[in-house]
Structure 1
């Protein structure tokens, strides 16, 4: 039989604690488009960029309670750059469960944003605010063609408090934005370690069960002497 200590260790290994909430959007990157080298450029928007090489951003996002003017709270904008054309990706936003917030993530190509009045107005407002922050950097590839998208994030506070200050001005939410490519456009790359662990656990369990069965079988068939 398996010792109780081993059973306890196996049980602990299977436990997982939930420390954060997650919201995500899945999309396929567009074909590479020509990047204008003269006139206004994407760098002048001063939007933070997420790329396959710099695949995560940790920041504090402002949030607001839903209103008639802003039913989904406050808007923030980012650029997904240097993408591999026609590859499947997902973008996740992760935040602590102790900060109740609703998030909406949308991905748009450049033409859709520039042709939609509400989106271009929201983007322009956010871009103007970013220009006053010298820490914001937008990194491009420098190539004449690039596959890129706009990421639109909306955050609304989702709590109630008797504290009037919190209800009038919700605190910023600490989040992590993660760009995760899909392997063979089927499975997120971040799940690869989990898949390896599950396969290793299944193989180990099969080998261990075979050893236990052989030991039990040999003990039951052992001849008894009077």
Structure 2
């Protein structure tokens, strides 16, 4: 009789989710010192994800793919204060009601600064962002950039992936609300965010084991009594 209440309670906790997820997995690079040279990372005024700030909810602009932007528009973020050698993943989640293709790439700071195309893309995004957002709404890096730190740049490219007879939407697709999540790996093998799910599955498996044993013993007693009555 315990099984039905447990099943009902489990179904009650279940929440439907209609969303899409894209992710990339990487290992944090060695710490480096950026110095006080200008322009600095602080001057970029990009959104930051770090162990102290594991998620960001934001609006991401999108366009339909073109010859110049085959993967849509680029948005840039900084993954700060990482632990060198530790494995991480970054996920982007968005509503399935807004069909979009997302492409995630991570770059070391030296790679971005030494690659003209990446640096131009980053500079264009940073300049546009500063023109749109008030300085008070832009969160910079915590602490001094002169300290050694493990940092990666995250580039998210977003392209609209739908068709409609609405000409206005086809010319100017609306931005997409997204959650960007930084997820450290435990012992470099298991995403930290999945720990509650793993615990839930383990508890469910143990409970099922004892419940099946109880049901089997009751069934054996019933069969034994049935044989004697026959």
TM-score in terms of structure 2 length: 0.90
Match of 1:44 in 2: 43
Q: What is the Cα deviation at residue 98 of structure 1?
A: 0.1
- Following the alignment from structure 1 to structure 2, what is the Cα–Cα distance between the partners of residues 90 and 225? 63
Quick check: 40-49 or 203-212, which moved more? 40-49
* Number of equivalent positions: 225
Match of 2:87 in 1: 88
Q: Deviation string for 1:96-142 (max 9, x for gaps)?
A: 00000000000000111111111111001011112222212122343
Quick check: 128-137 or 9-18, which moved more? 9-18
Q: 1:158 aligns with which of 130, 151, 161?
A: 161
- Following the alignment from structure 2 to structure 1, what is the Cα–Cα distance between the partners of residues 71 and 25? 20
User: Unaligned regions of 5+ residues in structure 1, if any?
Assistant: none
Q: What is the Cα deviation at residue 46 of structure 1?
A: 1.2
- Following the alignment from structure 2 to structure 1, what is the Cα–Cα distance between the partners of residues 21 and 3? 36
Contact between 1:27 and 1:88, CA under 8 Å: does it hold in 2? Answer: yes
What's the Cα RMSD here? 2.3
Please list, as runs of the form range in 1=range in 2, the aligned pairs for 1:138-217 lying within 5 A after superposition: 138-142=140-144, 144-217=147-220
Structure richer in helix, relative to its length: 2
Contact between 2:30 and 2:84, CA under 8 Å: does it hold in 1? Answer: yes
Contact between 1:64 and 1:170, CA under 8 Å: does it hold in 2? Answer: yes
Q: Which runs of 4+ in 1 moved over 4 A?
A: 2-8, 13-16, 223-226
- Following the alignment from structure 2 to structure 1, what is the Cα–Cα distance between the partners of residues 11 and 148? 50
Q: 1:75 aligned to 2:74?
A: yes
Match of 1:62 in 2: 61
2:194 partner SS = helix
- Following the alignment from structure 1 to structure 2, what is the Cα–Cα distance between the partners of residues 46 and 4? 54
Contact between 2:41 and 2:141, CA under 8 Å: does it hold in 1? Answer: no
Q: What is the Cα deviation at residue 40 of structure 1?
A: 2.8
- Following the alignment from structure 1 to structure 2, what is the Cα–Cα distance between the partners of residues 216 and 125? 71
Q: What is the Cα deviation at residue 6 of structure 1?
A: 5.0
